[in-house]
Structure 1
Amino acid sequence: MPREHVENGRVELRLKPEDKAVLARAAAIERLDLTSFILRSVLPRAKEVISDYETLQLSERDSLLILDLLENPPKANERLIRAAKAGFVLK
Structure 2
Amino acid sequence: MASKSRSGRLELRVAPDEKEVIDRAAALSGSNTTDFVRSTMLAASREAIRAHEVIELTTEGSRIFVEALMDPSEPNENLRDLARGFGEIPAP
**Which band: TM-score by shorter chain?**
0.5 to 0.7
Tell me the alpha carbon deviations over residues 29-68 of structure 1, each in whole angstroms, 9 at most, x when there is no partner: 61x3321111122211221122112222223222211211
Give the equivalent residue in structure 2 for 1:72: 71
Q: Which of 82, 85, 91 is equivalent to 2:90?
A: 85
User: Which residue identity does 2:12 align to in structure 1?
Assistant: L
Unaligned runs of at least 5 residues, structure 1: 1-7, 87-91
Query: Helix, strand or coil: the match of 1:40?
Result: helix
Q: Distance in 1 between matches of 2:23 and 2:77?
A: 66
Q: Distance in 2 between matches of 1:66 and 1:26?
A: 43
Give the equivalent residue in structure 2 for 1:33: 32
Higher RCO (C-alpha under 8 Å, 6+ residues apart): 1
Give the equivalent residue in structure 2 for 1:54: 53
Give the equivalent residue in structure 2 for 1:43: 42
Tell me the alpha carbon deviations over residues 1-33 of structure 1, each in whole angstroms, 9 at most, x when there is no partner: xxxxxxx62222112234324433544561x33
TM score, norm. by length of structure 2: 0.58
Percent identity between matched residues is 32
Query: Helix, strand or coil: the match of 1:85?
Result: coil
Q: Distance in 1 between matches of 2:9 and 2:65?
A: 45
